[in-house]
Structure 1
């Protein structure tokens, strides 16, 4: 499923008025402190004009927010592409309103060529801002969702003990609490099990296959195959770094980082979301 068609996880902001004020302040500070677009050559009161553009930005954001609110109620579910288009339209609306004020303040004639040129650059900047805004919000949601999921699963599995069977030596099975399991790595005809034993990192080699382990533990959703050679206990992930091409998972104080190959990234995201 395309990321654009996924459900956008955040409801309409209850702090949208605060957001309007924030956008107003950002535009004011950019104009007054950085003085871009030839604004430094303006001979009049720069503070007053900067406040004017900030106020126009606030009013534009306010009007757009009021007009957009009914859409959230009528369009269900609200997807990522809806949110992306909404942010892009907001940027364009703010830009057009400021363009009209700019034309009046600096006595520029409003021509179609000038408007199209302005919209062109606004669209380029707007696409970049939209991608950054939606991506950061969505991945922040995934991280928070993972943390909440892990906390819940860990509590539910406090008293569960799992067995990793040795297919070669009878009585060499490994019994550990599921919350103590960190990861399992395939190594030729064996698997290396990394787990916590008496608050220390321990490893054990068991003669079995990764497929057999997954078959034995298939009822536990947090035991996740993240690579053709690795199975990880999602309960013990403390950080994840990477992108859609792959991740590196950090598991508590374990010095080994566990890779998530590109093939398993969509499955991991769908599991979290």
Structure 2
């Protein structure tokens, strides 16, 4: 049960910026080549080589770049809600990538080796096994260490702030929100507004009315909504899909993805603060607290 809870820990989704992913894959390819060249961890039969062993090591180091980049490209397209990304999902998808790399390495054996058994199950297993032996460092050591590092970092950041009091007291205002469709214009009560969340082409807006939660669905973008609330600095965009009323925060905790906000009188959902928004969140909090 502890392992199950551990792999369900939130984990950052690092694959949104594909340029950065490509550069990281190039770095890993170079590191893999240097490691293989210096330590020669696998037994090789030079007599079976069609090309020099140096170039074989180069090929095996470069193969992961197109395989992993294509996988990450498709993964980015298919993932709709990155806030649900976990350590377990990271493990699973990286393991699938290692499996694919091993399989591709098996498919090119005929271009590298003269062995008549190139297409045997033995060599398929060998290529997959060797790929996992190289990648096990990433799966079993780096990922847990990075998770632990991020949790400590965000928890330490939280010690610098306190959200036990309202940012601005006695807020009692109603704002006329204009939508692209004039008939759908509406009034937003700042006092009862909890948060808003993107839902496809709509915006879900949540309220707290005497401990009873209600939701409205409006044809409005998050940017259009937020632009009309600029005069209320405590209405804050915590994530690319969320805007929250900072007055509604009851408590904050940290995880590897950033902060997690718990709202007063609302237990149905926690609100994420993405890693890229943490510094701005802290600055807004401190400036409001000092007003």
- With structure 1 as the length reference, what TM-score do the two structures score? 0.48
Bigger RCO of structures 1 and 2 (CA < 8 A, at least 6 apart):
2
